[in-house]
Chain A
Amino acid sequence: MNATPPPPRTSVPAPGLTAGQRARELLLSPNAIRLASVAVFMAVWEYFGRQMDPIFMAPPSAIFAAAIELVQSGALRKAVVESLWPFSVGMVLTIVIGILVGIAVAQWRIVEYVLDPFINALYAIPRIALVPLIILWAGLDFAGKVAILVSVAVFPIIVNTYSGIRDVRGSMLEIGRAYGATEAQIFFKIVLPAAIPFIMAGVRLSVGLAIIGIVVAEFFTAISGLGGMIVEYANVFATAKLFVPIIVIALVGVVLTELVMWLERRLSRWRQLERDRF
């Protein structure tokens, strides 16, 4: 009847790209467009910045010169340390307090009923409104900065830890119970790992708020750190110098947020992949 059919194919060669298509792909790649966008923005800024009164606006070249000057004089280094030290301490405290309070509220009904009126009230008040009071109590220096940062940044971690723990499905707890796990084992081996993605999302939100918190604290105290530097240069119309701490804060913010997002992705990979399945 027929000759033997050709063997089944498991793959076929992909069509190649022409030189034109490849060039197009490179030029229109997201990163190429991003780079071009920033370059055009800097050029426009440089051009108009030079024409404007230096009290209102400084071109990128002047900012760069100011940055070099501040680095060489050591002023920038000093300000960075003055900001980052309370920031780090505050962030660690925020994470520890946030997670512990979140766990306590989620695990024990009595703690929830005792604390939730205060958590809700503090969550509703813009915490910036409390800054003068906190300064009154904790002072203008290190302790004041840390207290302001924690008060601003701690809530997303509390709320997310709480929701993460409450979100753990009963069927997952039953795995532990059926295998005879103790309450502590169920908490550490099932509840906490299951809540990690939520907690990490809370930490990510909290880092953004903490940066705002430290800058606001330094605006009020206006004597130290990057925030203090901004106020100081604004007061004397040193506009080129004013941009330097702003750019440093922006860079720190981007780096920290990326770091936390990377960590979040790593720790929550199972959850993302699990979601992709359905």
Chain B
Amino acid sequence: MIAMAGATAAAAMPPRDVMVAYEGVSKFFSIRVRPGQQQRGELMVALDRVSATVRKGELVTLLGPSGCGKTTLLRLTAGLIAADEGRITVGGAPVSGPRKDACMVFQNFGLLPWRTVIANVEFPLELDGVAAAERHDLARHFLDLVGLAGFTEHYPHELSGGMQQRVGIARALMRRPILIFMDEPFGALDAQTREQLQEDFLRIWSRTAATVVFVTHSIDEALILSDRIFVLATGPGRLRTIVDSPVAGERLAGDVRTHAEFAPCRAELRHMLRSEGT
């Protein structure tokens, strides 16, 4: 029922179709020093030899329980931290730091509270030195796209959580990125708002050519949004398997929860996340 896409299939992919490639990527963290019982000279493995590829234009979710290293993998891909082993390439080039054409949507929205909505959205282009009028027009366009045309002069704290994250999405689109990173972007929202944002985000994403790497701990969210789901496991954090979403073809057409394959796939993923250490 679930099609497993192994590493061999990924390796066979022609390079021009590859957006992100992970080749044996590991990340170690130093063990927190506890008086009397620390083990000197040992590092904790946060992420162990991850190898996979993300295709151009696809939406991949990194799914796993807390501590599985999914956010670490995202931060490595974004160039916010460096890998201790292995290599990550984005668009064929090794990741050495944040790229301007790869934009992040943050878990807690990451808006600057002293800036108005539109000034927050303009932020990336302001960094690039784009002329004020030009970035203003573009910001209006994207705010319109996320449904916040009437809130350009509001401050973030005047908006609900869902609206703040819409601002975060508009900001991420400003550079017309080839890659969008999303770090549990809807995790802090209530259930109704989350569903609405998932739906709206899919609609917006379908009109761009961007590849998306999306971190979540929600099986439903992974199934609703993804082309493929990277299932991660804990102890040590690692990529366990890659699952093709059986409902990916239908996700833009409406609620995929009612799809015949949704429930069985959901159950299988659930089982996979529960049975640790295999």
Chain A residues with a Cβ under 8 A of chain B: 171-172, 174-175, 177-182, 185, 189-190, 193-194, 196, 270-271, 273-274, 276-277
Decide: A270 near B155, CB < 8 A? Known: A178-B80, A179-B127, A193-B112.
yes
Chain B residues with a Cβ under 8 A of chain A: 78, 80, 97-100, 103-104, 106, 108, 110, 112-114, 123-124, 126-127, 155, 157-158, 181
Which residues of chain B are near A185, meaning CB under 8 Å? 127
Give A178 to B183 CA distance when docked, in angstroms.
Answer: 12
Which residues of chain A are near B100, meaning CB under 8 Å? 179-180
A178 near B157: Cβ-Cβ < 8 Å: no
Give A171 to B127 CA distance when docked, in angstroms.
Answer: 18
Give A185 to B100 CA distance when docked, in angstroms.
Answer: 14
Decide: A274 near B157, CB < 8 A? Known: A178-B78, A180-B99, A181-B127.
yes
- Rank and list the top 10 A-B pairs by shortest CB-CB distance, nearest first: A178-B104, A270-B114, A270-B113, A180-B98, A175-B110, A274-B157, A273-B157, A180-B100, A179-B124, A193-B114
A171 near B108: Cβ-Cβ < 8 Å: yes
A277 near B157: Cβ-Cβ < 8 Å: yes
Query: Beyond A189-B126, A193-B114: 9 further Cβ-contacts under 8 Å?
Result: A172-B112, A175-B106, A175-B110, A177-B98, A179-B100, A179-B104, A194-B114, A196-B114, A274-B157
Report B30 CB to chain A, min CB distance, Å.
Answer: 18
Give A172 to B80 CA distance when docked, in angstroms.
Answer: 13
Pick from A177, A194, A273: contact of B155, CB under 8 Å: A273
B112 near A271: Cβ-Cβ < 8 Å: no
Beta-carbon nearest neighbor of A277 in chain B: B157
10 A-B residue pairs with Cβ-Cβ distance under 8 Å, sorted by A, are A172-B110, A174-B106, A174-B110, A175-B106, A177-B98, A179-B124, A180-B97, A189-B112, A189-B123, A274-B113
Report B267 CB to chain A, min CB distance, Å.
Answer: 36
Which residues of chain B are near A189, meaning CB under 8 Å? 112, 123, 126-127
Which residues of chain A are near B123, meaning CB under 8 Å? 175, 179, 189
Report B9 CB to chain A, min CB distance, Å.
Answer: 31
Report B189 CB to chain A, min CB distance, Å.
Answer: 15
B98 near A178: Cβ-Cβ < 8 Å: yes
Report B130 CB to chain A, min CB distance, Å.
Answer: 13
Give A231 to B278 CA distance when docked, in angstroms.
Answer: 87
Pick from A174, A190, A194, A271: contact of B80, CB under 8 Å: A174
Pick from B98, B108, B155, B157: contact of A179, CB under 8 Å: B98
Decide: A175 near B98, CB < 8 A? Known: A185-B127, A274-B157.
no
Give A174 to B112 CA distance when docked, in angstroms.
Answer: 11
Which residues of chain B are near A193, meaning CB under 8 Å? 112, 114
Which residues of chain A are near B97, meaning CB under 8 Å? 180
A190 near B112: Cβ-Cβ < 8 Å: yes
Report A173 CB to chain B, min CB distance, Å.
Answer: 11
Beta-carbon nearest neighbor of B101 in chain A: A180
For B100, B114, B127, B155, the residue with the greatest tally of chain A CB atoms inside 10 Å of its CB is: B114
Which residues of chain B are near A273, meaning CB under 8 Å? 155, 157-158
Decide: A271 near B110, CB < 8 A? Known: A180-B98, A180-B99.
no
Which residues of chain A are near B155, meaning CB under 8 Å? 270, 273
Beta-carbon nearest neighbor of B128 in chain A: A180
Beta-carbon nearest neighbor of B116 in chain A: A270
Which residues of chain A are near B103, meaning CB under 8 Å? 178-179
Which residues of chain B are near A276, meaning CB under 8 Å? 157
Give A178 to B100 CA distance when docked, in angstroms.
Answer: 9
Which residues of chain B are near A182, meaning CB under 8 Å? 127
